[in-house]
Every structure is written in structure tokens, then in C-alpha cells.
Amino acid sequence: DQQVKQNSPSLSVQEGRISILNCDYTNSMFDYFLWYKKYPAEGPTFLISISSIKDKNEDGRFTVFLNKSAKHLSLHIVPSQPGDSAVYFCAAKVDYKLSFGAGTTVTVRA
Amino acid sequence: IAGITQAPTSQILAAGRRMTLRCTQDMRHNAMYWYRQDLGLGLRLIHYSNTAGTTGKGEVPDGYSVSRANTDDFPLTLASAVPSQTSVYFCASSAESSYNSPLHFGNGTRLTVT
């Protein structure tokens, strides 16, 4: 049973607009959360992370929000750029082990 | 360029055959991992190693084995491949000296078992 869920398999957004990716988790013991980005034929690359003691972390165009009571986190990308078209994986960590969601494919339209 | 090298890039394998996927890192990371990526399921952990000489089972270890003779190499072996092992396999490493160290991934091996 997947403990990390990304319920939207795909997202299409116009260039310059905001992309919002959502992720839900079931294990309340998760204490660290990460987002990875993956291009075709490449491995995932680390994008941004957040500790469970925080509710927001920002890095340039990328912001991650964590709502522990709802067991929900989201990634905001603003403004979206064509190079942001990729698969985004949400991941959650406990005891040095990482669990991944199924991924959301983002397509940024010109 | 420092990083993780996986070989082969892709492979077609007959069911029942033995196959070893190779993974080498030059970052001197203590921890290494093997994941498989399947559509709709994301990445699932097969086996991991926190340091040379030790290994552990992940979510989906059946049908796979690993060894960690040294820091740099972490091969994954399929003793007798089955079609359900058709997947993209990613090796990863992290500097476990910090709990918050992110994983660094290789570019993957696409394996098809016929």
C-alpha cells in the first residue's frame, strides 16, 4: 500500500502561470519531505525539501508547503517555464528510508 | 564529472536468465540504494546499503540480491529473471552523515524481460 500518493498523474499549465503539484501521505512518522524532478532518459534530480518542523520552504521559483495535520504537501512553481516540463516525484522520509509517490507529469505550454 | 554510473543503459533479457546491473559512484557516499520505476507506482526501493559490508531489504526485494564489497560499487543481481521484473532500475546514493542529504540518482537501466 503506497504511503505517498500523488493523485494527479498529469498537469498542463501555460508558460508564466503557476503550477501547483499536490501530494498526500499516510504515515505520520515521516519527518522529511522532498520533491524530485525527472526528465526522460535521466535519473531523478533533487529539487527542494522541507523538514516536518516547518510549513514552508522557498527556493527561487519553487516553494513547498507542508500541512502536517492534513498530511498534505504541495509544490508551487511560479512562473512556470518550458524547461519545467518533466515528471515530479514527491518523497517522504523516515529512518533514512525514502518513499516515493507515483509522479505527476507537468507540461508547460508556450 | 562526479556522480553515479549505471550499466548497461538498456537490456533485453530472456526469462530465466541471470543478470547483474552495475552501479558505481565516485562521491564516496556511504549509503546506496536500488529503486525500480513502474508506471503508476513511482519509485520503489528494492535493496539498500547504509555502508560497505551491510545491506538491507526494501519494499520489493523478492527476486533480487545485492552486495556491497566496497564503498563505490553496489551491483544488483536478478538470479532468474521473470517478465514482472521488466522495469527501469535506478541506483542512488546519499551522504548519510546528514539525515537530510538528498539522494543522487544514476540515469537508469531499462530492462525488458521476455
pLDDT score for A2: 82
Neighbours of B110 (CB within 10 A): 16
CA distances from A89 to A27, A81, A92, B28, B44 (A): 17, 18, 10, 26, 12
pLDDT score for B1: 59
- pLDDT grade, residue A101 (50/70/90)? very high
Neighbour-count burial of B97, counting CB atoms closer than 10 A to its CB (0-12 exposed, 13-18 middle, 19+ buried): exposed
- CB-nearest to B105 from A41, A44, A102 is A44
Nearest CA in chain B to A52: B100
Residue B97 has pLDDT above 70, yes or no: no
Among B34, B43, B45, B88, the residue to mutate for chain A (most A Cβ within 10 A) = B43
Helices (H) and strands (E) in chain A, counts: 0, 11
DSSP letters for A18-53: -EEEEEEE--TT--EEEEEEE-TTS--EEEEEEETT
pLDDT score for B100: 78
- CB-nearest to A102 from B33, B35, B42 is B42
**pLDDT tens-digit profile of A73-93?**
999 999 999 999 999 999 999
- pLDDT grade, residue B95 (50/70/90)? confident
**pLDDT tens-digit profile of A22-70?**
999 999 999 999 999 999 999 999 999 999 999 999 999 999 999 999 9
Rounded average pLDDT over B40-57: 92
